[in-house]
Amino acid sequence: MRLLFVKLKHIGDSLLLTPTLSAVRTMYPDSEIWVVVRRGCEGILRGCPAIDNLLTAAAPEASNRSRLNWWHDFKTVRRLRRWHFDYAFELTDGDRGRWIAALSGARVRCANGAGRALNWWWKRQFNCISQFQWQGRHRAEKDFLTVADALPLEGEVPPMIFARHLARARPPAGGLSNYAVIHPGTRWRRKRWPKDKWIELGRHLLDRFSKVIISAGPDAAEVALAGELQAILGPNVLSTAGQTSWEQLAGLLHGAKLFVGVDTAAMHLAAACQCPTVAIFGPSNPAEWRPWKVAHRLVRPGGIVISGSEPANGNTRAGAKTQDILVASVVRAWEELLHATEC
């Protein structure tokens, strides 16, 4: 059985597909699994052993697209049509992904019609429309239960995965055994936590860990922030300086005792590596975006800490500001988390 999964969203969203792919591989071990994601998102999926073939479509950011993107997507669709898929699942809820899934020629073409209603045209292109109401549910559940409406899957939604044997070790973690990873950068202004609070948190972490590693994406602002924090916090703080691949960051996270970060792809990767995670959440909806199936604590304004065993019941603080989160709340969260995981 040949299966196609199309998810043309951002990097973290791509990783949230891995529980579904793992479940499909377990249930249908002889299936051939193809995945199409946006260009630039493929690296974070290289740790998912369930994937047989990984293709890309146009990048999600308009600034990274060109007039020839249509030609790239055309070639992708032409390649897909040669393989005569049994099932194609469109998990983007957007027109570009729908076109790719519909034109794949798959015998069964499935999309979700509950979140964003399909118009009459799209209803004619898909012969299996899931009505799973995913709003307020975790996005890992959305993918799993949408697929399960067409292709039976058993059991609960699995954890995310970036397999240890597919990660790559990278200095400066080589030889270290007691370090934490923090990821302070994000391109979303509303998710940012002030630099002075990261400095204060870093000093607390250095009292507990021999090293703190700052993870930074390639964005110039993220690299600059990491460099500033490193300079202020001293020689026991190291930075990836935007030079780390997703495989290398996964290698760091598999060896780390703790991850602290805002709601980003790095946070989801920490969960996929089963690294104990403290997530700093401002306006993000924890019901949909919290760390999935990993030991974690979630910190929100007002000192709210949601443990890994408690459900997050929706976004009751949609107007919450990340900068209002106290350092003391984050410190208390990671101390409590480490106590729970080390016992």
> Which letter does DSSP use for residue 230 in this model?
H
172, 315: one domain: yes
329 vs 278: CA distance, rounded Å? 11
- For residue 310, what pLDDT is reported? 47
121, 144: one domain: yes
Domain closes at, from 135, 161, 187: 161
252, 134: one domain: no
- Residue 183's DSSP bridge partners are 261
**Minimum mean pLDDT range among 48-52, 231-235, 299-303:** 299-303
23 vs 210: CA distance, rounded Å? 38
92 vs 9: CA distance, rounded Å? 6
Q: Which candidate, 121, 92, 132, places its Cα nearest to that of 7?
A: 92
131, 238: one domain: no
Checking if the pLDDT of 233 tops 50, the result is yes
Confidence of residue 24 (pLDDT cuts 50, 70, 90): very high
119, 186: one domain: no
81, 122: one domain: yes
Q: How many domains does the chain have?
A: 2
Checking if the pLDDT of 242 tops 70, the result is yes
The encoded tokens of residue 209 equal 């860990």
In terms of average pLDDT, the best of 229-233, 302-306, 338-342 is 229-233
- For residue 293, what pLDDT is reported? 96
* pLDDT, averaged across the chain: 90
148, 171: one domain: no
190, 114: one domain: no
Domain closes at, from 114, 136, 161: 161
267 vs 249: CA distance, rounded Å? 11
- For residue 118, what pLDDT is reported? 85
- CA–CA distances in Å: residue 335 to residues 152, 157, 276, 289: 41, 28, 11, 23
Confidence of residue 61 (pLDDT cuts 50, 70, 90): low
Element (DSSP H or E) covering residue 260: strand 258-262
- Residue 212's DSSP bridge partners are 180, 237
* Residues near 250 by beta carbon (within 8 Å), at least 6 away in sequence: 47, 162, 166, 167, 168, 269, 272, 273
- For residue 47, what pLDDT is reported? 97
Domain closes at, from 161, 188, 208: 161
> Which letter does DSSP use for residue 49 in this model?
T
149, 169: one domain: no
- For residue 101, what pLDDT is reported? 95
- CA–CA distances in Å: residue 236 to residues 91, 203, 212, 225, 258: 43, 10, 7, 17, 16
19 vs 220: CA distance, rounded Å? 32
Q: Give mean pLDDT, residues 249-271.
A: 96
Q: Give mean pLDDT, residues 70-74.
A: 78
10, 35: one domain: yes
Per-residue pLDDT of 164-206, as tens digits, reads: 999 987 655 556 789 999 999 998 888 999 999 999 999 999 9
Q: Give mean pLDDT, residues 240-266.
A: 96
The encoded tokens of residue 83 equal 């393989």
| Structural domain span for residue 174 | 165-342
- Residue 179's DSSP bridge partners are 211
CATH classification of the domain holding 253:
3.40.50.2000
Could you tell me the pTM of the whole model?
0.93
Q: Give mean pLDDT, residues 80-103.
A: 94
- For residue 148, what pLDDT is reported? 95
183, 332: one domain: yes
Crossing angle of helices 246-255/265-272, nearest 10°? 50
321, 193: one domain: yes
Q: Which candidate, 46, 37, 10, places its Cα nearest to that of 248?
A: 46
194 vs 122: CA distance, rounded Å? 44
Q: Give mean pLDDT, residues 281-306.
A: 89
Checking if the pLDDT of 309 tops 50, the result is no
Q: Which candidate, 296, 328, 331, 334, places its Cα nearest to that of 312?
A: 296
Q: Give mean pLDDT, residues 285-289.
A: 90
